[in-house]
Structure formats: C-alpha cells, structure tokens
Structure 1
C-alpha cells in the first residue's frame, strides 16, 4: 500500500458489498499468463511525454499499471538475447522485439503489437530454466504475429452490433439472451486463441533449439501456484473451468502443450539452459514491492510509513498500491485496509459520517483509542453483509480498516476487534522482518532435502511448499551439486 495510492473520493460499497470491498483497490491477484489487465480504480499515473505516439503512451500506461519497470540488467540482457533467437525462428524474423521487466510479484506476461514484451519479476521467479521463459515469450510473439488482439476486438464489435439490433428489433430480454450467447462465443474464441498461441510458441522454441517441453513445465508450475493461492484463502482448486473464462483451464493447456511437444520429439531434446537462466535472475527481488509495505504471514508491515497491522487467523493477504486486501473462509469473510490524508478541520467522527461508506449505522459509532492513537469505530450493513469499520489517526493520515462478514457473531466480533487493535507503530524487530526479499541460489549438498532447503528460506508462510513451487519439485529428495532457488534477504 503506497502513500501515493490514495483516492480521497472513494466511496465504499457502491458495488455489491463484498465485491466493492475486494475490488475497489485493484487487488494484485495471480493473473493468467497473457492477460492485459483492466485499468484499476486508482492506477498510478503514467508519465506521458509531449509527442508520444499512441503505442508509446500505451506502453507507459502498462508499465505504470504494474508498479513501473524493474531494472535488473543481467536478466533483461539475457531475455533480449533469447528474444532475438526466438524472433529468427518465428514467422516474422525481421520484427524487432524488446522485453521490459515489470516491478510486480504477480505472475503475468503480455505483448503489444509494437513488439514490446512485458514479463513480471513474479513470472521470472516462477520459471525454472530458459526453455520455460522462452515458451512464455514465444507465446506472446504468437499473439502479435497472429493479430489476436485485433481479431478479438473485431468479434466484440460485431457482437455488440448484433446485441443492440436484437434489443431494437425484438425486445430487451431477447437482447440479453443474445448478449449472453455472444459472451460465451467470445470467451470460446479467446480460449482458442490461447491454445493457438501455445501451439505456435512451442513450435518456435523448438525451431530455436530450446526444449519444447518447457511450455508444459511452466504451465504446471502456474497451476500449482494458483492452487496454492486458492488453498491459502480456503477455496478448492479450480479444476472445473469457468465457461466465461477468457483462458482455457490450465490442465487443458498442459495436456495440449504436452501433446504438441511429443509430436516434435521425445523428452530430452533441445536446450533447457537452466544454469544460464538461474544466473540471470540470481538476486532479483521477490514478493511485494517494499516501498508499498511487506506482507509476512498475517502481518502487514510498512517501514516507510512506520506502522504494522495483523489480520485475523486464517486470512490470506495481498498488497497493492491502493490497499491491502484479505480473504478468509473461501471468500465468506474479507477485509480492506487503506489510508487517506486526514482532512483539515474535521474530527474522526465527522470524517466517518462524511458519506464515503454506505449503510453506516449511526447508533454504533463510538470513539476510543488503538494503542494510544485516536480512533473511531462503527458498524455498517448492506444487503446480507455486515461490516466492522475502524478509522485510526496516525501522523497526518487516517487508516481505514473494514471487515465484511455475513453473520457478525460474538467470535467474529472478538477477532475483528483484536485485529483492529493490532495497528501500532512499527518495532525495530518488525522493521528488520520487512527487509526486501530476493531470489538467491543455493547448491544442494549430500543429504539435503527440500525441507532442509526450505529451512533456509526467509519466508514464514508455507516455506516447504514455496520452495517446491519455485523449483518445480514434487519430491523431497534433491540432487547433490544441483543449484536451487531459495528466498532470502
């Protein structure tokens, strides 16, 4: 949560209650590879120089959306060398490409028609060798060469015209049916584009001399990453694809990628170039941008702003420039934590009742303190959801903590109050705990296991699973002399 990410005009719960609570801040979720995200409610401003072309303006906007570019020359240079090799093996060998690393822990990659490719440092941390990251970049090149964005836009335009015509000529209900059918058609069209880009990309990396099985390995890691995140918030793994998903389910993509690679040859063909790739990402930042605070388990620590806050047991937290968001019990409970500049001449109660939150129950408003800091508390209700709200004054800012739950039981009331009362000035120990994390390399010795390597990780939340995920491992046993990724300061 960045100090510069505040939106003073935000009004909470204007959407359906839980959706508003979760989506208002542009939560940094694990997005599917290849998706260019929608603009969040309060994105960072993208610098636009006088005379920028539309393509350059779009490029700057996307970079700003993902927290800016991340300067790591040895990885950037290596990826551009791989890109040049892929371009020569593609159907457009003269098309120039360049890669930009984005300062985001989200796992994502996408491309613009200009030949600009973007990969997040979160994706680089998840990939395990050059053939895997080459598969991702070749997939994005395929989107560009196949003009997928243009074709999808044309299909959406046609669908909109047909829907409008159905509403005018027949009736609104018929128009809504046509719109629903069109949405399913476009979703299927998009899923087919993703499968096509996978197939083209696998063919390209094979022609470039890389292991064509790199695509299926990376997709498997992506699936495991998604499943781990779902488990953290109490949701079952999504084996059933959403019919309106813009991407095919990952198991479908893995199966198709394996089939495409087997048609090229047996496992073991082509380069994986694992040592070269690991050397290129050694030292790269891992996790949230420390400038926006750090999540350590259930605790959120912001050294620059000087506070710490702890979510209740069972909450999985995610950070963005606009807010810290939390989910528990498969989405049945949620929290939002953000800040605004303290308005001049207004008391905390004046601010709380100034109209930024719907459904406020005025009879529940009460003033008090949180660790000697002035605070005001209240409840709100909207539809079937109940909300616990706290606003705490700290330095020149107001920190807003909002919990959402359907039934406000005594147990829920107690845990929400305990969490609110955890807001406090940072301690020296917490400041040390919030130091930036990085990908480091460790060589396995004889007798090392995944657990002994996980014990070296500077992670408090599921370190063993995180180690296995980062290294694409299923087994405990490691190969002596092999290099592995760990997360350390």
Structure 2
C-alpha cells in the first residue's frame, strides 16, 4: 500500500486514509506521517519525517553566519534542539565528545575551524552537522557505540561534511534543478517536460547526496587515523548500526537504505570504510580508548523518557496520558513522539495507538469516521465497553490490508487503536485481546516508573553472555540487545575485567 501526503491528509491506494493526532496530543499532520510509517512498514528511529536511522544526515542550512545573522542561527539551533527533546546534561560524555572533536579538527586540512558539540536528549541513533560548525549527537548513538574510536569515526564523518561544504553544494544543486524545471514549465509553457525534469532532479540530488556520504566516509577514516584513533572504528560502528536497525525491524539482520535514500546502503559503507582503513594499516595501530568511553557514558539514560511512555515487561504505560495496555504476543513496539507503532517480525501485522482530537459532544462513531477517511465496512460499527470505558469498533478492508479500528474514550481523552493484517485475514481475535487490555493507571504506578539507563559492569572470571544478559531489563530479545550494544558476535566469550554495557532500571 502506498500513501502520499496531499494537503495535510494521507491518500491511500486501495487502503486507509486518515489524519491523526499523536499519542502526546501532537498535531494532525504528525499523526499522518506515523500512519504512513505504519502502513508501509518503514518503522525506524523517528526524527520527524525521517523513517530510517540516519547517523550522518546533514540538513541543507545557510552558510556560516556572523554578526547580526547569528541571532537567526541561534534561534534555529534552539528549535532543532527542542525537536530532539532538548539538551541532555551529562558532563562526562559532553567533555569526551568535545575533546575528541578538538583532536579530530587538528588532524583535518582545516585545523583553524571552530566546532561546538551538542548532546541531544533523544533515544534515536543520530548525529548530524550544520555548515556553521555545530555538531549534534544523540544519547541513543552514545549508547550504541562501544569505544572512543567509534564515536570519533561518527564525528570525523560529520566534520568532513562541514569542511567539504556539502550542505551548501547540495542546496545550490537543488535550487538550480528547481529553476530549470520552472523555466521549462512556466516560461517555455511545457509543464510535462518540466515535471519530467523535476523528477530527474530528485534522482540526481539523491545520487549527489549519496556520493557526498561516501566521500565523507573516506575523508573521515583518514582523519580518524591522523588523529591517532583506530581507523577500523568506523566499520565497527556501522556494523553496530546495521545490527541495531535489523533488531528494531525484528529481523536480526542488518538494515539497508532505499536506493533513493540520502544515505547509501550500510553494507556498501562498511565495505568502503574497511577498505580505506586497510590502506592505512592493520587493525590495532590506533587507539580505541574503550575504558575511557565506557566510563564517560556509564549511567546515561537509555530508550524513551518514561514521561513519554515506556514498555515494562509486556506492558506499555504512558504516565502523561494515564493509560496502559498489554503488548500483543509477537509484536515489537516503538514509542514515537506522536504514536505507538508495532509490527511482527515478518511484517504481516501492524498496530497503531494514538490520541485523537474530537469536537465537544462528538460521538465515538463520528470520531472514527472522521479520522479514517477510507470506507468502513457496512454494519461493522459496534458500540462496546472496553475496560469500563465507552468505545466504538469497526472493520475496514483495503486492497492489501484488513484493518480493525477502535475509538475509546477515557475521561476527557479519546484514543484510537488500529490493528492491520496483510491480506484478507481479519485480525479480530488479537485486536479484541489488545483493546480489552487498555486501562487507566493511577498516579502511584506512574510515579514508580523509572527511566532505563546504561550500566557498565566489569566481567568476572565466571561471567558469560547469558549471565550478564539475565541482568538486563528490556522488553524483548535481551541476548541480542546485549550483543549489539557491546559489539559482540554470537558465541563470543567475555574478557574477565573488561567493561560491558547493561540496560538496567
């Protein structure tokens, strides 16, 4: 099923269309983006409209600013930081990032450049740079990296984007392509050719951006080695990213980018950076400073902020909304800022939970119809009581998916629960179990909810992967998560006295 944004709503071919508000009472347009993700299966680390974890995205911003324009730059910085949950205050990690950045800059061809690092309070795995020398790293990325050389590889890549002036070049190319398309369409009165040129420019820009990523990878590895770090740290981090993407998708395998994505496929990048590192020398020539890195991130928050909702065991709780529900068997869920999304490993079933806005006095059947613009099957609307709360459920059949929907009123809030099954199979039984698990939770339970954090422990002589995994507090696949977090392969033996990351409360 393909969805495309049209005037603030989502239009579907043979399937669902709707506009939603988010689980945190976010606007209607944001909900549409997440419903698009639900139906297409592009469920990844969410950063606005970005549906795939992007370690090195570089927005096309204005060039470096001075004087009066700095006010605008500072305002843009504040907005960007706010969109990622604000700054994350962890002095030890920020000092390490700043020290590594200074060391890398001295090893570049532009050692006079000035950079400032901001640590973002976001669980997504992300880092990016602005042309004015601002670098951003999320705490989610810090949790994934295993040593200083890996985080240095990410920063070296971002610095390469700035020194190579990639954002400015990409902006100029985009503007030039738009101008040519408009001249052909408007001035030469040939809208068909203009549209064709515009589509071609999208492919050109995507290919240009991908080439920039590969160029930044190559320059980044060289900078990494010049600064004295292990040049193979870039490949290790990209492998961890690939495994993390696969773990989130429920496959356990590495994820790949779409051919039109800004970033090349992860495997392609791993091959490039590994080849570049081998040209420099053998593994072990540079330092990885693993102990220093682990000491700097010991205790940082992991995953979602509990105030925005969290999974504990097989239960999802949202303190702000005052609700909880059981995660259906076989589903892996992800709590985004606008909705809760879920999928089964093979992708044949999906779910969405969000909060919807409704007019005063509007009935639940009207709410369901208003937020789901595709046809509801005749006679399927049913008034029910779910967890002591009034609710309306319905069935909708698309070309490729079958949907069960519910609108439930808890106090003054209205929530929507949607389960989709690929094909003609009706997911009614699983849907009923899921919706009937929804319940209001009291202040005592929500106040007892504590954030998860990274704890670094030293492995004892008798410790194994299994023994440390049993100490992890995660909703599912603790063993796989332990291996990915610590850069270990299946069957790996632990080194006595070495530090390893655990996820604990």
TM-score range, shorter chain: 0.7 to 0.9
1:467 equivalent in alignment to 2:482? yes
How far is 1:360 from its partner? 3.6
1:216 equivalent in alignment to 2:211? no
Structure 1 residues without counterparts, runs of 5 or longer? 39-49
Distance 1:282 1:298, change over 3 A: same
- What corresponds to 2:244 in structure 1? 225
How far is 1:447 from its partner? 2.4
Superposition map of 1:33-432 within 5 A: 33-36=55-58, 53-165=71-183, 167=185, 174-230=193-249, 232=250, 237-238=254-255, 242-296=258-312, 299-328=315-344, 330-340=346-356, 343-354=359-370, 357-361=373-377, 363-410=379-426, 412-426=427-441
Distance 1:329 1:269, change over 3 A: closer
Question: How far apart, in 1, do the equivalents of 2:476 and 2:373 lie?
Answer: 33
How far is 1:190 from its partner? 1.1
Shifted more, 86-95 versus 28-37: the winner is 28-37
Q: TM-score, normalised by structure 2?
A: 0.84
Aligned residues: 474
How far is 1:290 from its partner? 1.2
Distance 1:80 1:344, change over 3 A: same
Q: Give the CA RMSD over aligned residues.
A: 3.3
Distance 1:421 1:26, change over 3 A: farther
Question: How far apart, in 1, do the equivalents of 2:53 and 2:83 lie?
Answer: 14
Question: How far apart, in 2, do the equivalents of 1:454 and 1:33 lie?
Answer: 27
Question: How far apart, in 2, do the equivalents of 1:217 and 1:294 lie?
Answer: 29
Structure 2 residues without counterparts, runs of 5 or longer? 1-20, 61-67
**Residue of 430, 436, 439 corresponding to 2:454:** 439
User: Secondary structure, in 3 states, of the residue corresponding to 2:460?
Assistant: coil
Indicate if the aligned counterparts of 1:11 and 1:356 stay in contact, CA closer than 8 A. Answer: no
Shifted more, 446-455 versus 312-321: the winner is 312-321
Distance 1:72 1:25, change over 3 A: closer
Question: How far apart, in 1, do the equivalents of 2:87 and 2:435 lie?
Answer: 35
Indicate if the aligned counterparts of 2:129 and 2:136 stay in contact, CA closer than 8 A. Answer: yes
Q: Kindly provide the CA deviation profile for residues 326-354 of structure 1, in whole angstroms up to 9, marking residues without a partner as x.
A: 22364443222111456433333343344
User: Secondary structure, in 3 states, of the residue corresponding to 1:64?
Assistant: helix
Question: How far apart, in 1, do the equivalents of 2:22 and 2:34 lie?
Answer: 23
User: Secondary structure, in 3 states, of the residue corresponding to 2:500?
Assistant: strand
How far is 1:393 from its partner? 1.5
Distance 1:468 1:284, change over 3 A: same
Question: How far apart, in 2, do the equivalents of 1:336 and 1:236 lie?
Answer: 24
Question: How far apart, in 1, do the equivalents of 2:462 and 2:37 lie?
Answer: 52
Question: How far apart, in 1, do the equivalents of 2:298 and 2:42 lie?
Answer: 34
Question: How far apart, in 1, do the equivalents of 2:95 and 2:255 lie?
Answer: 36
Question: How far apart, in 1, do the equivalents of 2:96 and 2:463 lie?
Answer: 30
How far is 1:432 from its partner? 8.6
Q: TM-score, normalised by structure 1?
A: 0.87
Indicate if the aligned counterparts of 1:377 and 1:391 stay in contact, CA closer than 8 A. Answer: yes
- What corresponds to 2:499 in structure 1? 483
Shifted more, 270-279 versus 57-66: the winner is 57-66
Indicate if the aligned counterparts of 2:309 and 2:317 stay in contact, CA closer than 8 A. Answer: yes
